[in-house]
Amino acid sequence: MLDTNTGKTAMFAKFDKLSERIEGLYGNGRRPFGMLFERILSPTRGVIGGKEVLLAGTNNYLGLTFSEECTTAAKDAIDRHGTATTGSRLANGTFAEHVELEEALKAFFGAASAAVFTTGYQANLASLSALGGKGDHLLIDADSHACIYDGCRLSDAETYRFRHNSPEDLAKRLSRLPETGARLVVIEGLYSMLGDVAPVDEFVEVAHAHNAMLYVDEAHSVGCYGPTGRGVAEAQGVLDRVDFISGTFSKSFASIGGFCISRHAEFDRMRLASRPYLFTASGTPSAIAAARAALDVIAGPARLERRLWARIEQLYAGLSEAGFQPVSPPGPIMAVERPDDKLAMREWNALMDAGIYVNLMIPPATPQGKSLLRISMSAAHTEADVDRILGAFRDLRALQAT
Amino acid sequence: MTPEMQPIFDRVEAILRTHTKVDTVITPDVQMGADLSLDSVDMFDLVMEIEEAYDISFPIEEASSISTVGALVEAIGRRTNA
């Protein structure tokens, strides 16, 4: 018979250290992780603790979550198809809208195949776990998102890390591999924590020179980079040479879900082998419809990213001037490194007192053990919004002195 | 630890000294986490430096399963056919 006390201790003791650390960090202040948003009023305003807050950490880069296009499409989809698909893509979960979205993504990227997944996390989990077979080699950037690591773990391939954003280190590692097995290099276009951009053009040269394919996660960069918003690979002129591009619908696409496109038609065969694709329900009709509407906006003439970049430049210049130099060049994600997690926590609280929500990021979720205040910009932010954010940051200097 | 491993151990010990702040005698049984206070970020840097030094690559799973200095030395030995 289970001894309830001993059994409980054995089960939950593994979380003790983490809980203690986080509780110690919180002290009597707010709890930044799992923060409760009582209401969202617009792409840039929400209600937290009964107070209206300016949102500057929601990855809502194009600000489309309340757009007429996306909200109408989502509501119509519920009216036409109900709230859920209640099944996986292989069974009863493939609706016309899923296929149409895949076709639209193929057209947008000029790809030979495209698959849509239920979340962005699953897009990488599903694609990488299926692509990495026994005897194959996956080479991933050391700063990769958890879903890339997890996709590799779920695969049967051997996974190697290379130094962050270093095509030279990748080349060394590729040259050490045995001749047998397929090779896949995995990078991100724009890294979500530090906001730095990958030299995709250099990586494609190195990967192809060593007989490896290149997979680029553009979760944070589609809609923001490139002359037509197709991402960092487009911005660097190598969109047609990248073998796979994955992404999410939960940022610029104002929905939830993910995708992976490939210039190789054979990628489609993954559908029969990928467990995270097969054994989960497909995206809800409303989520798929909102993503499709957002894609039409991104592919259309609106060019919302121009507004986004104007705000980015304004914030970057202001932060640098105020002594909060972001760790990477101007981009939709601007992270300011803090000396330690305790000061970062105090400053995060002070920003909340001033009615500004940004992301507090601390190890182990961050690369290189950094503590960060992470800001994400939106095309929906106004010049006055950015002035307010900057004012709140300037006021933090008084806090540093105490 | 076999005698062939001694040169690897000596080199690993020298590299470890530059990564840990703990001033303790390093033996094959020493735990890199508990005894040398190396966290996951330190371990990543350490493994990268060792890979450079020996011109080898450890798959992530193998690297993360290494907990003692001796196991690290053995793993290098396997990769370099020492």
Could you read off the pLDDT of A246-267 as tens digits, one per residue?
999 999 999 999 999 999 999 9
CB proximity B61 to A under 8 Å: yes
Q: Which residues contact A250 (CB under 8 A, 6 or more apart)?
A: A59, A119, A120, A256, A257, A258
* pLDDT tens digits for range B8-35: 999 999 999 998 888 889 999 999 988 9
Interface of A with B in 156-185 (CB under 8 A): 158-161, 163, 172-173, 176-177
pLDDT-above-90 percentage for chain A: 90
Q: How confident is the model at residue A25 (pLDDT cuts 50, 70, 90)?
A: confident
Cα A191 from Cα A67, distance rounded (Å): 26
Distance CA A216, CA A144 (A): 11
Cβ–Cβ under 8 Å, residues A226 and A252? no
From chain B, pick out residues whose CB is under 8 angstroms from the CB of A369: 39, 41
pLDDT confidence of residue B70:
95
pLDDT value at position B1? 75
The per-residue pLDDT of chain A, averaged, comes to 95
Which of A142, A160, A163 is facing B59, going by the closest CB pair? Answer: A160
Give the pairing type, strands A333-338 and A371-376: antiparallel
Among A160, A164, A185, which would you mutate to test the B interface (most chain B Cβ atoms within 10 Å of its Cβ)? A160
Count of positions (residues) in chain A: 402
B6 has a chain A CB within 8 A of its CB: no
Please give the backbone phi and psi of residue A113, each rounded to the nearest 5 degrees, phi first: -150, 155
pLDDT at position A1 over 90? no
Integer Cα distance of A54 and A361 in angstroms: 18
DSSP A196: P
Residues 14-53 of B with CB under 8 A from A: 39-41, 44, 48
Structure tokens at A165: 């954003």
- Write the DSSP assignment of A265-310 as a string of letters: GGGGGGGGT-HHHHSSBPPPHHHHHHHHHHHHHHHSS--HHHHHHH
Q: DSSP assignment of A325-355, as one string? A: --SSSSSSEEEEEESSHHHHHHHHHHHHHTT
Mean pLDDT computed over A305-325:
97
Q: Which residues pair with A40 in a beta bridge?
A: A46
Whether this model's ipTM surpasses 0.85 comes out as: yes
* Model confidence pLDDT, tens digit, residues A271-313: 999 999 999 999 999 999 999 999 999 999 999 999 999 999 9
Q: Which whole number is the average pLDDT over A134-161?
A: 97
